[in-house]
A and B are shown apart, each in its own frame.
Chain A
């Protein structure tokens, strides 16, 4: 059973547009929700993360929106650039199991120039 469900599987966005990737989770014990960015041939890199006590977190062009009641969170990439083309993974973990992350299936983002 997949603990974190991610959509869409792939996404094509024009340069300057907004990319939106969604994730949903079932386990209400999860209390840390990071997003990772992975380029081909590289390991995932932490992009931005949120805890359930806030509904939104913004870092530059990247924003996480968190809806605790719906058990959903999303990544918004504003002013998407071709350099943002990568695979994005959402993840979740719970405090009593440090560093045991459950990952979404990934979204391959292609930003067209």
Chain B
């Protein structure tokens, strides 16, 4: 089985721009979660989508949003980028059992 894929792998944006990241889960997995990883804050939960519905949400501002499509692929959008949004954004998928969450390689976003 192919693993979780994320595109693009690297991205450079400037302040004020918006960005969309994509995640393709493992085939058959309906849950997709997004995390932000930074050296200072570590891994922080953004949100989780299951069957096209947001099921869980972390404590991030409304500039961070996401969606999930009927094929379980998910996108994450960040509007009005700030310097502090520079991070590795990780996506994880699972087959709806907590024990089987698989992470993708991440998208490294640099905001200048």
In the assembly, what is the distance between CA of A91 and CA of B56, in Å? Answer: 16
Which A residues are in CB contact (< 8 Å) with B43? 44, 89, 91, 101, 103, 106
* A contact residues, total (Cβ < 8 Å): 24
- Chain B proximity of A50: nearest CB distance (Å): 10
Check B42 against A49 for contact (C-beta < 8 Å).
no
Which A residues are in CB contact (< 8 Å) with B92? 43, 99
CB within 8 A of A43: which of B58, B99, B105? B105
Check B42 against A99 for contact (C-beta < 8 Å).
no
User: Could you list some 27 contacts between A and B, CB below 8 A?
Assistant: A32-B99, A34-B99, A42-B105, A43-B4, A43-B90, A43-B103, A44-B103, A46-B99, A46-B100, A46-B101, A89-B42, A89-B43, A91-B43, A93-B98, A95-B98, A97-B56, A99-B31, A99-B55, A99-B94, A99-B98, A100-B45, A100-B48, A100-B58, A102-B45, A103-B44, A105-B42, A106-B43
